[in-house]
Amino acid sequence: MRIAITGSAGLIGTALVRSLRAGGTGDGESGGHEVVRLVRRPPAAPDEVHWDPRRQEIDTAGLAGCDAVVHLAGAGVGDRRWTPAYKRELRDSRVLGTRTLATALASMDNPPRVFVCGTAIGYYGDTGDRPTDESAPAGTGFLPELCVDWENAAAPAQEAGVRTVFARTGLVVARSGGAWGRLFPLFRAGLGGRLGDGHQFWSFLSLQDEIAALRHLIDTEDLTGPVNLTAPEPVTNREVTKVMGRVLHRPTPFPVPAVALRIALGEFAGDVLGSQRIIPRRLLESGFSFAHPGIADAVRAA
């Protein structure tokens, strides 16, 4: 297969490109897939295609012959304080990028058969301790509103008949990058601890399972619409803290008070302290098997 990917230099994109080029993982082929990387700078390699989501420009000729497009690009949610300017950056990097791709796919005579748009479980907002699957409505607040606009931007591809899947990803457990990329150094230094009261649920997924799940979405012809990419049993931040300390053989004596998080993170602290107990119902029903279903498995794998 020929597969185009945005965000190929990020944590998930880098791992996905490596996995696709290596082949295997149940794709039915002995060799690897051909990967096309969409880049915003001038292309510097034969496998690169230029696009400019801000100007909503893309070289559709470079997408010719692609069987799938996986869209992973977007500014990091936790990279900076949520100033009004950065909230615009978060929104524009997702909504404009998705709209650019979806419009381009809709304009092609022979578009890819599937568009996998990476979104987030932020769609649901704070769910407390209530198990929540894909049938739940959007929550309230900045992130849920962003996710709604993000997914709605894919409408041109859907209306053109391209199978469109929204990969609503949770917290990816990885050695570097994402939330866990920040946690590991703290816990290794013996400075890790629960955040706030620690009762908030964290819906996690190992990096290996994230990549396998994305490939599953590409290959499973009857999957469309939202699919939660999280492990089957979310755990509380208090449980995460205990597992991190046990796996890394470090004490976890320093809880971070909620007020300190609000001072350090601003508006984003509300999402760090919020609870999301998200269940991957559609992923499980489609026959996906997790390599690391438990938090201890995922942390050890990272």
User: pLDDT digits over 223-242, tens only?
Assistant: 999 999 999 999 999 999 99
- One-letter amino acid at 175 equals R
* Position 23 confidence tier, pLDDT thresholds 50, 70, 90: confident
Q: What per-residue confidence (pLDDT) applies to 28? A: 41
Nearest to 49, CA basis, from 95, 112, 91: 112
* CA 3 – CA 254 distance, rounded (Å): 45
Question: Which backbone phi and psi does 250 adopt, to 5 degrees?
Answer: -135, 150
Angstrom distance (rounded) from CA 265 to CA 81: 6
In which band, very low, low, confident or very high, does the pLDDT at 254 lie, cut at 50, 70 and 90?
A: confident
Average pLDDT over residues 123-137: 97
pLDDT beyond 60 at 217: yes
Provide the pairing of β-strand 68-71 with 57-58: unpaired
* 8 A C-beta contact, residue 228 and residue 283: yes
Structure confidence at residue 253 (pLDDT): 83
Look up tokens 């290596």; give the residue.
Answer: 22
Please answer whether residues 2 and 69 qualify as being in contact, where contact means their C-beta atoms are separated by less than 8 angstroms: no
Enter the pTM of the model. 0.93
| Mean pLDDT (whole number) for 270-283 | 87
Q: In this predicted model, what pLDDT tens digit does every residue of 93-126 receive, in sequence order?
A: 999 999 999 999 999 999 999 999 999 999 999 9
pLDDT at 260: 62
Q: Enter the CATH code of domain 2-301.
A: 3.40.50.720
Percent with pLDDT over 90 in the chain: 76
Residue 122 contacts residue 176 (beta carbons within 8 Å): no
How does the average pLDDT of the chain come out, rounded? 91
- The full set of domain ranges for the chain reads 2-301
